[in-house]
Chain A
Amino acid sequence: MSREEIFDKVRDVLVEVLAVDEDEVTEQATLTSQLGAESIDFLDIVFRLEQAFEFKIGQGELFPDNVAQDPEYVQDGMVTDKGLATLRERLPHADFATLEADRKIANVGEIFTVDAVVNFVERKLAV
């Protein structure tokens, strides 16, 4: 499946789950701040990607869980070096530019761009 075909399917999933217009789903759009995703939407996205691409997604594989609660990873509202390294290792598909520029915890959501989801699917299909 080409990257374009993957993008089209991912866009369809996001349009359905987040009730956004097709043209809002650009590669650089962030799921939370720009497309308005809330926590339950991430589970919805995982479920629908599984249906669309016929693979299984493990818990925490696409989106991390419990990073923010671990004092090793987050201190004083900022992601630590170890936290950033762990996220990078666990989520090689994500986009860390914004979080690296400003480590505040709110920016963790910014690592999930549409592009990151497409990367994830592409890697998953390649295995």
Chain B
Amino acid sequence: MRWLWIDRVVELVPRERLVAIKNVSLAEDHLHDHFAAQGGRVAMPVMPATLIIEGMAQTAGILVGHAEEFREKVILAKISKVVLTREAVPGFTLRYTATIERMDAMGAATSGRVELIDPNDPASVETIGQIDLMFSHIDQNLAGREFPEHNFVFGESFRTVLRSSGIEF
């Protein structure tokens, strides 16, 4: 079981770009702790920035994995840059656009744009951040260490997201 932080893939240009969305929902338990009411302060549910990074990592990771037909085990190796300028609150939609900057046998570098869609004005899309990442194809790295044969990175939950988004793989 893997914790998925994207709801749907909305666009895929193989080896180039993948766009995914995440609907922020008050039904998610963690929003009640992040941040809970405390003392005189009222509760302030906002999507944790760490999970926005994870959402982008999943978006970019699928893009990188898809490029080699999910043969490579693609692991997030480095968070090169993160800028987030606004909070995402319940009812809003996050849109992640990941682009491959460079890829070779060893791994890939991606750049990512984070956008926020307001439910009251879905046509207006605000860019709220940039998340640049690096991925390693671990079978090609880590000093010849061996990993399990089956691809434990892209398990059934990822396949379900792709399938339900109508993506062939």
Q: A residues engaging B (CB < 8 A)?
A: 17, 39-41, 43-44, 47, 50-51, 59, 66, 68-69
Contacts and interface: CB of A to CB of B under 8 A. Distances in A.
Interface of B: 77-78, 80, 101-102, 104-107, 109, 134, 136, 141-144
Contacts of A47: 101-102, 109
Main secondary structure of the interface of A (DSSP, over half): helix
A40 B107 contact: yes
B137 to A, nearest CB: 10
19 contacts: A40-B77, A40-B78, A40-B107, A40-B136, A41-B78, A43-B106, A43-B107, A44-B78, A44-B80, A44-B109, A44-B134, A47-B102, A50-B102, A51-B101, A51-B102, A59-B104, A59-B106, A66-B143, A66-B144
A75 to B, nearest CB: 16
B103 to A, nearest CB: 9
A4 to B, nearest CB: 27
Contacts of A66: 143-144
Contacts of B109: 43-44, 47
